[in-house]
Structure 1
Amino acid sequence: MAAQAHAETEFPELVRFREEWKEEVRQRRAARQQTESEPPDSQTQRHAPPLVGTSQLPPASTTACDSSDLPVQPLSQADLHNRVAVSVSRASLYTSNSESNNSSTLTRAVGIYRSAVQHEQEGRLDEALKLYSQAFRLEQNVDRTYFWEEQRSQQLAIPSPLAADLGGLLKATFTGKSKVNAAQGTTIIKADTKDKYCASGALAKLIANFPAELAFTPEDEREGVALNVIPDELLLNVLRSLDTTTIERFAAVCRKARVLSLDSSIWKDFIYMAYKPPQIPDADSVNAIIKRFNADYRQTYIEQPRLRLDGVYISVCHYVRRGVSDYAWVNSMHLVTYHRYLRFFADGTVLSLLANEEHTPQNVIPVLKPSLRMKGFTVGNWQLDGSIVRISNLHSPHYYPSSRYNFQMSLALQSKPLGRWNRLEVLSYESVNVETGEVAPFVLKHERPFWFSRVKSYPGYH
């Protein structure tokens, strides 16, 4: 008895667990006696299969113990952990899909865990840590139950028309209150303004869940946001004066900023500035390109290939050359590094420069202009055919103005990641006899892909 009193003093949770276990055994015994006393018809009705659409719980254990069978000696710590694990597993099995059948202890633990998560999100880490500890003391697997309930609630919150259209193209036009068209998988938001916001694919699914009324929210709720006073029309005029990188960074601030950044007028300006000859075969081709992307100007600007004019494409090449030594037993090798530069202009002019490692990109980029006088510098013409860049008539205007040969290149335009269009893979490099038109290809051993580097001083599209 002294040992039992000591255990009750040292392990209050053990005492609580023993009392709960006794109460559970008494309830099972009473339920078994009631089942045995009921007539067969009542038992058949009790064990009838559940109705369609209801969730069937796993059957409870048929083993029952009398209270007189309970051990007199206190449980060891190992037995306590085993019984707690069994209790938690049983509680997790009795969780239904439509309603929570958790025990009162598990429900209380989940509530404390949810409060701990809120405290952590608000930055009150000390309070969150105390609540986490309290929740895990009540139930060991409370985190699993909490995340299961959160996942279930998120699944129930997804609108059925959007969930059913996972594979199709989802197009959204936003200007006010939302309206879901289940037949076409299209989300349309209408308002009194004439501005329209357009998005496709995963972005449209994300914005379809936005509330109808959007505003800039402050980090501190006690402070206001000056942007809410500015009309949307004025904000759109400001956005139209920015570059695409700045617009996308602004769009990542909040929901209102994301919706404003999708205004068709913003991306329409970029489309008509970028996609014109020699980016496309002729001026009328841009309308066919926009139609192919269902008038989603932002998606067109991202996915339609285009050469970047606001920077320079640089290829860093290496090769190893055997050196000369005064001694036969010494074998010297030299690593040679050189750079190739390509700068494109909107009028179809391209500048090409081959420079050794003495001329670093920091020194070359500021002077890479048509007036450059340098060995290895050539000027030519370029045209974009789909995703293939064709460079022709490369010649040296200063060192060899009357040369019998010029050069031409073919490169594959690629984008990593999508929308950057920052990589040029060399497909061919050839020399052309001006008089006869004979073409002689060069063997490409050491050539490497060109990667784009943005230069703030370069004008880009205009």
Structure 2
Amino acid sequence: MTLDSQLQTLSIKSDGALDLSKLDDKQRRAYDLFHQANEKEMEGAMSDAVELYRKAYKLDEKVDRWYRYQDLTKQASPHSKNTIEKPPIDLELVKKINVRELLNSFNEDQITPEVEDEPSPLHLLSDDLLIYIMELLCDGDLSSWFHFAMTCKKLSYLGLHNKSIWEKLCNIVYSRQRYNEDAPGNQDQMCQNMWKGDWHLMLSQRPFLKFNGAYISIINYYREGGRPDMSNSWSNPIRCVTYYRFVRFYPDGTCQRLLTFLSPKIVVPRLNKNYHELGLENVYRGTWKMTMDGQVLITGEGSVEGYSFSETLQIKNLGRMKHHKLHWISAYFQNKEDGELKHFSLAKERPFTFSRVKSYAV
């Protein structure tokens, strides 16, 4: 029996999507449980996800088929308001594009967005003034600068090809980092000596921490449980345990660390300097410094009173996303009185991945 024939018993809207209002209580409950399980799986909470999937399948063994059918029809329906026709992309051809040559070819283009019937009034502004506007956007919000630069070819050339913009970005980014004493302080001299005056290359290769979000590590491990009394089972049940580590860095050299079973959806909006008022507990404060090659040293308070805690992490790339991960190097705690040092095992730990946050308002 095909999927379409299996779905005939359910009410289908004119746009091809399932009419959830026509589901009976049992089907609706299965749909909700499957949706919750999908969200838990995305968060990395595998134990909770498996339990929710099990309950959903118990209510309706075909819940996964029509749940995914619902998502596919939303994406594929020509009547959907969110549908955007995208031409196929030849990835091999994209890789061959020389970005700098392409941007250079935009030099003589005018500011004429295709959606406008008339030229934009921005075309009346000089190049110097447009560059100045982009520098102001860099000071306020880097994403605003990028989106403005992507408006048309002319602005792309001025915003992404201009040396002064990349120099501005480097000065903004690296002036907020907190380096060890041996790190040189002159950004211009460093760029000339190590990157031959190429500010864009410097930003791409020189590690830095990001402050407009939090770094999150999702840890899953399996634990053997106990058999119930009078059970005849040959083996003990296995449970998947999920917990999270959060680190948020601040440009003033301070940071916050949290180990919890609460999901990022709950924690991240509350992880700021007013975390006590927002209901977060066991958030430990610390300070951080880094080396030129991207090793980050965090020191501060922890779960045991009378001990100082230290963690060393390495900034890494995540595919094309530059400086987006933190890999563990070491972690230890030290008795403040006698100096006794003990190292933590990192066998179960996983790298941190940066998650950008637009607003910390709950």
TM-score category by the smaller chain? 0.5 to 0.7
> Which residue pairs with 1:270 in the alignment?
169
> Which residue pairs with 2:288 in the alignment?
382
Q: State the structure with bigger RCO (CA 8 A, min sep 6), 1 or 2.
A: 2
Which one-letter code corresponds to 1:363 in the other structure?
I
The Cα of 1:295 is off from its aligned counterpart by 2.5
Between the aligned partners of 1:212 and 1:336, the Cα distance in structure 2 is: 56
Matched, 1:290 2:195: no
Q: Which of 392, 398, 408 lines up with 2:310 in the alignment?
A: 408
The Cα of 1:219 is off from its aligned counterpart by 2.6
Between the aligned partners of 1:445 and 1:251, the Cα distance in structure 2 is: 44
Q: What is the DSSP-based 3-state SS (H/G/I as helix, E as strand, rest coil) of the residue aligned with 1:393?
A: strand
Provide Cα deviations, 1:174-233, integer angstroms capped at 9, x if missing partner. Answer: xxxxxxxxxxxxxxxxxxxxxxxxxxx94433344x276331234379743332123323
Matched, 1:256 2:157: no
> Which residue pairs with 2:53 in the alignment?
none
Between the aligned partners of 1:236 and 1:364, the Cα distance in structure 2 is: 38
Q: Which of 119, 125, 131 lines up with 1:230 in the alignment?
A: 125
The Cα of 1:338 is off from its aligned counterpart by 0.4
**Inter-CA distance 458–420: structure 2 relative to 1 (3 Å threshold):** farther
> Which residue pairs with 1:367 in the alignment?
270
Which one-letter code corresponds to 1:217 in the other structure?
T
Which one-letter code corresponds to 1:325 in the other structure?
R
Which one-letter code corresponds to 2:242 in the other structure?
T
**Kept in 1: contact 2:107–2:157 (CA 8 A):** no
Q: What is the DSSP-based 3-state SS (H/G/I as helix, E as strand, rest coil) of the residue aligned with 1:387?
A: coil
Q: Deviation above 6 Å: which 4+ runs of structure 1?
A: none
Which one-letter code corresponds to 1:286 in the other structure?
Q
> Which residue pairs with 2:54 in the alignment?
none
Could you list the runs of 5+ residues in structure 2 that have no partner in the other structure?
Answer: 1-96
Matched, 1:324 2:226: yes
> Which residue pairs with 1:440 in the alignment?
342
Matched, 1:204 2:100: yes
**Inter-CA distance 294–418: structure 2 relative to 1 (3 Å threshold):** farther
Provide Cα deviations, 1:350-408, integer angstroms capped at 9, x if missing partner. Answer: 1110001xx22122112213454555421111111133433343214xx76xx221211
**Inter-CA distance 369–254: structure 2 relative to 1 (3 Å threshold):** closer
Aligned CA-pair RMSD = 3.0
Identity of aligned residues (%): 29
> Which residue pairs with 2:39 in the alignment?
none
> Which residue pairs with 2:59 in the alignment?
none
Between the aligned partners of 1:265 and 1:259, the Cα distance in structure 2 is: 12
**Inter-CA distance 279–252: structure 2 relative to 1 (3 Å threshold):** farther
The Cα of 1:254 is off from its aligned counterpart by 3.6
The Cα of 1:283 is off from its aligned counterpart by 6.2
**Kept in 2: contact 1:279–1:307 (CA 8 A):** no
**Kept in 2: contact 1:390–1:408 (CA 8 A):** no
> Which residue pairs with 1:423 in the alignment?
325
Matched, 1:334 2:239: yes
The Cα of 1:280 is off from its aligned counterpart by 6.5
**Inter-CA distance 275–346: structure 2 relative to 1 (3 Å threshold):** same
Which one-letter code corresponds to 2:263 in the other structure?
T
Aligned residues: 253
Matched, 1:247 2:152: no
**Kept in 1: contact 2:316–2:324 (CA 8 A):** yes
Which one-letter code corresponds to 2:259 in the other structure?
L
Between the aligned partners of 1:420 and 1:215, the Cα distance in structure 2 is: 31
TM-score by length of 2: 0.62
Which one-letter code corresponds to 1:229 in the other structure?
L
Between the aligned partners of 2:166 and 2:142, the Cα distance in structure 1 is: 9
Provide Cα deviations, 1:24-45, integer angstroms capped at 9, x if missing partner. Answer: xxxxxxxxxxxxxxxxxxxxxx
Between the aligned partners of 1:222 and 1:287, the Cα distance in structure 2 is: 44
For 1:33-44, list aligned pairs within 5 A.
Answer: none
> Which residue pairs with 2:207 in the alignment?
305
Between the aligned partners of 2:191 and 2:224, the Cα distance in structure 1 is: 54
**Inter-CA distance 409–224: structure 2 relative to 1 (3 Å threshold):** same
Range that drifts further, 418-427 or 246-255 = 246-255
**Kept in 2: contact 1:302–1:419 (CA 8 A):** no
Could you list the runs of 5+ residues in structure 1 that have no partner in the other structure?
Answer: 1-200
